[in-house]
């Protein structure tokens, strides 16, 4: 279908590219302690982009109708914006493992065993446990009018678990998930379960929330409030639109030298890994913040053309939209401290695992103020109990200027890898 599409538009376009994605996913849902449903999902979608008279058009479809797709792409180009697209040619493709035969071959029973193992370890009286296990097998093929035609296969196995405990009107929800291209090792599952149970146990006791400008340890999932503004600010498009606070700071030191943020699509077996992006641009590791210094922004071909920079290989396209720059495997570089050593930095403060409302409001501005969903008081380096009715506030771009400590264990949650971090001077408001 890909070759047919490119042939059909040849001669009528100055550039064209196509991406075809297929996916077959098996998912198992364990609800309230038992396997409840099993699902199979099949998906096949094609996305065509054309440049006609210098204007870009695009169209997508899950139906196999070549004529309709071509007509739709040309209609889109007729009202489209002028673009400069430097389509890649046939280029050497870097090596990265995205497909594990062992994951692809796993039977439903084998996948169910993963869920059962986690379920058995998490199940306790008075709490409900839900577990989802999912295995996707997909393929991506990208070709363009410049001679690029390349493809790869992907496997993804993900497991998510949620434990809910209701006592009267007191509710505790602890959740976690892991994802990668291979079946998770038993040790990885055990580590996830241990960390969930640790958070449940810590919540057995309640603690008063402190107030003031205090040191706060963010768990790996708690760091999402710190990453949210950066994920927007490091987009080349935000820079082009003049809304990124980092836009005019390239090459400048803006954060603590302990802070490094990297996007790396070439890590073996991670869920965001890929040898090339959805525009056939070969993948490469891209430092975004390098030891506190603003080092780079992510671009797809269109935004790179507008910014007159080279594309960074970050295009992602769904069946229906146009390519957009997106991160692959985004991670904060780990530090040197164990988790107890991180907590030991805190005489009186908080351990924050989940906040309510992250991602709402004026995110790119960096200012945040959120009530805690799951947080604990830390006194003299020890967890003293769960705090409720507390809120934390601050400005991410200021807080990252002084980092008290970064954990040495990198936790991958899907395609985002983060260590725990201690920041100073976070505004904590108790009841």
Q: State the nearest-atom distance from the C-beta of 154 to other proteins, in Å.
A: 18
154-193 residues near other proteins, rule: CB under 8 A: 164-171, 173
Q: Residue 40, interface with other proteins (CB under 8 A)?
A: yes
321 is an interface residue for other proteins by CB under 8 A: yes
Helix/strand/coil for 410: coil
HSE-CB for 404 with a 13 A CA cutoff: 21
63 contacts other proteins (rule: CB under 8 A): yes
Contacts of 113 (CB under 8 A, 6+ apart): none
Choice from 9, 19, 50, 80 touching other proteins (CB under 8 A): 80
Q: Please, which residue, 58 or 276, has the CB nearer to other proteins? A: 58
| Residue 320 binds other proteins, judged by CB under 8 A | yes
Q: Which helix (H) or strand (E) holds 151?
A: strand 149-167
Q: Does 84 bind other proteins (CB under 8 A)?
A: no
Q: Which of 17, 50, 60, 261 binds other proteins (CB under 8 A)?
A: 60
- Pick between residue 41 and residue 120 the one whose CB is nearest to other proteins: 41
Shortest CB 92 distance to other proteins, Å: 31
Residue 241 in the binding site for other proteins (CB under 8 A)? yes
Binding mask 105-124 for other proteins (x = CB under 8 A): ---xx--x------------
Closer CB to other proteins, 359 or 381, in the complex: 359
Query: Any contact of residue 151 with other proteins (CB under 8 A)?
Result: no
Choose the binding region for other proteins from 251-259, 326-334, 351-359, 405-413 (rule: CB under 8 A).
Answer: 351-359
Stretch of residues binding other proteins (CB under 8 A), selected from 43-51, 97-105, 283-291, 333-341: 43-51
Burial class (CB in 10 A: 0-12, 13-18, 19+), 35: middle
- Joined tokens for residue 366: 């960096």
Subset of residues 379 to 408 that bind other proteins, contact rule: CB under 8 A:
388-389, 391, 393
Of the candidates 3, 47, 4, 39, the one whose C-alpha atom is nearest the C-alpha of residue 22 is 47
Query: Looking at residue 381, what DSSP letter applies?
Result: T
Residue of 7, 11, 67, 79 interacting with other proteins (CB under 8 A): 79
Q: How far is the CB of 242 from other proteins (least distance, A)?
A: 6
How far out from the chain centre does Cα 11 lie? 39
Q: Which is nearer to other proteins, 133 or 333 (CB)?
A: 133
Q: How far is the CB of 148 from other proteins (least distance, A)?
A: 22
Q: Which residue in 150, 131, 153 sits closest to 141, CA to CA?
A: 150
182 — phi, psi (to 5°)? -110, 170
C-beta of 7 vs 169, nearer to other proteins: 169
* Whole-angstrom distance, CA of residue 222 vs CA of residue 218: 5
CA dist 42 and 136 (Å) reads 10
Q: Which of 119, 154, 153 is nearest to 133 (CA)?
A: 119
The answer to whether residue 76 forms part of the interface with other proteins (CB under 8 A) is yes
427 near other proteins, judged by CB under 8 A:
yes
> Is beta strand 416-418 parallel, antiparallel or unpaired with respect to 330-332?
parallel
Q: Which of 8, 54, 72, 146 binds other proteins (CB under 8 A)?
A: 72
Q: Which of 80, 423, 27, 7 is nearest to 225 (CA)?
A: 423
Number of residues that bind other proteins (CB under 8 A): 78
Q: For other proteins, which stretch binds (CB under 8 A), given 9-17, 74-82, 217-225, 404-412?
A: 74-82
367: contact with other proteins by CB under 8 A: yes
Site for other proteins in 261-300 (CB under 8 A): none
* CB nearer other proteins, residue 51 or residue 406: 51
Nearest-CA neighbor of 20 among 301, 318, 311?
318
**Residue whose CB is less far from other proteins, 15 or 333:** 15
Name the burial class of residue 419, with classes exposed (0-12), middle (13-18) and buried (19+) by CB atoms within 10 angstroms of its CB. buried
Which residues in 32-126 belong to E strands, given as ranges? 34-52, 55-61
Minimum CB distance to other proteins smaller for 1 or for 393: 393
The CB-based long-range contact list for 282-285 (8 Å cut-off, 24+ gap) reads 282/88, 282/91, 282/92, 282/93, 282/94, 282/313, 283/94, 283/96, 283/313, 283/328, 284/94, 284/312, 284/313
Instruction: Provide the minimum distance between the beta carbon of 337 and other proteins in the complex, in angstroms, as a whole number.
Output: 29
Compare residues 287 and 430 and give the one whose CB is closer to other proteins: 430
The answer to whether residue 38 forms part of the interface with other proteins (CB under 8 A) is yes
Beta carbon nearer to other proteins, 371 or 385: 371
**Cα separation, 394 vs 251, whole angstroms:** 25
């Amino acid at each position: 279908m890909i070759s047919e599409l490119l042939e059909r538009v040849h001669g009528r376009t100055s550039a064209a590219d196509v991406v075809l994605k297929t996916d077959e996913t098996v998912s198992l849902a364990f609800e309230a302690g038992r396997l409840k449903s099993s699902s199979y999902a099949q998906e096949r979608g094609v996305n065509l982009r054309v440049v006609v008279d210098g204007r870009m058009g695009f169209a997508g479809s899950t139906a196999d109708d070549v004529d309709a797709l071509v007509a739709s792409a040309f209609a889109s180009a007729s009202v489209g914006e002028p673009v400069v697209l430097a389509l890649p040619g046939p280029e050497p493709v870097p090596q990265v493992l995205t497909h594990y035969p062992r994951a692809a071959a796993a039977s439903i029973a084998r996948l169910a065993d993963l869920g059962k193992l986690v379920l058995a370890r998490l199940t306790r009286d008075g709490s409900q446990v839900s577990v989802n296990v999912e295995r996707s097998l997909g393929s991506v093929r990208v070709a363009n009018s410049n001679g690029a035609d390349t493809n790869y296969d992907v496997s993804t196995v993900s497991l998510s678990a949620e434990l809910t405990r209701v006592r009267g009107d007191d509710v505790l929800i602890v959740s976690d998930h892991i994802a990668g291209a291979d079946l998770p090792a038993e040790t990885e599952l055990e580590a996830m379960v241990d960390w969930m149970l640790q958070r449940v146990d810590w919540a057995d006791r309640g603690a008063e929330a402190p107030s003031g400008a205090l040191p706060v340890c963010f768990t790996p999932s708690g760091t999402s409030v710190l990453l949210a503004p950066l994920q927007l600010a490091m987009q080349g498009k935000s820079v082009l639109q003049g809304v990124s606070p980092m836009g005019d700071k390239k090459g400048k030191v803006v954060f603590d030298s302990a802070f490094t943020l990297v996007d790396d699509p070439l890590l073996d077996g991670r869920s965001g890994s890929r040898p090339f992006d959805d525009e056939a641009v070969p993948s490469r590791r891209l430092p975004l913040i390098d030891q506190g210094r603003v080092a780079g922004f992510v671009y797809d071909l269109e935004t790179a053309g507008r910014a007159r920079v080279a594309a960074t290989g970050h295009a992602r396209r769904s069946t229906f939209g146009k390519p957009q720059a997106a991160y692959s495997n985004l991670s904060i570089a780990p530090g040197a401290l164990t988790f107890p050593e991180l907590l030991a930095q805190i005489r009186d403060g908080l351990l924050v695992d989940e906040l309510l409302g992250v991602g709402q409001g004026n995110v790119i501005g960096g200012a945040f103020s959120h009530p805690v969903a799951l947080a604990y008081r830390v006194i003299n380096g020890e967890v003293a109990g769960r705090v409720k009715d507390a809120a934390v506030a601050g400005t991410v771009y200021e807080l990252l200027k002084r980092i008290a400590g970064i954990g040495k264990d990198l936790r991958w949650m899907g395609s985002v890898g983060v260590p725990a971090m201690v920041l100073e001077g976070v505004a904590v408001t108790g009841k």
